[in-house]
Amino acid sequence: MITLYGIKNCDTVKKARKWLEKNSVEYRFHDFREDGMDSVPLQQWLDQFGWEEVLNRRSTSWRALSDSEKNNMINAAALAIASDTPTLIKRPVTVSGDTTLFGFKEATFAELV
């Protein structure tokens, strides 16, 4: 079973969900805002991929951080900040078995299913 993490009004999440539904792929959607962050494996993602892969440095949430926060970012800081501001996480995050993908690309999704 695929779990898709994100925010329902995010355009990229919408594209990913539409692709999964169009291709009859069963999935569970976890909305960071509505479902909360308690069960999100954020620490695992940071340990495995590092904050550079997990956080979206092109987001308005990233731009809203202070220069000090950006320049001194480490996994521990990313965990605290992303837990409070989940819009910092690259979306969608797609988890299928041992595979975790950040963002949406049709070709990569086609390989996943």
Per-residue model confidence as pLDDT tens digits over 34-70:
999 999 999 999 999 999 999 999 999 999 999 999 9
- Name the pTM for this structure: 0.94
Tell me the mean pLDDT in the region 75-91. 96
Strands (E), the chain: 2-6, 27-31, 93-96, 99-102
Residue 53 Rama label (left phi>0; alpha psi -120 to 50; beta):
alpha
Mean pLDDT of the chain: 95
Cβ neighbour number for residue 58 with a 10 Å cutoff: 9
Catalytic residue flag (residue 10): yes
Task: State in words which class domain 2-112 has.
Answer: alpha beta
Give the Cα separation of 64 and 53 in Å (integer). 19
Instruction: Select which of 4, 8, 9, 10 is catalytic.
Output: 10
Domain ranges of the chain: 2-112
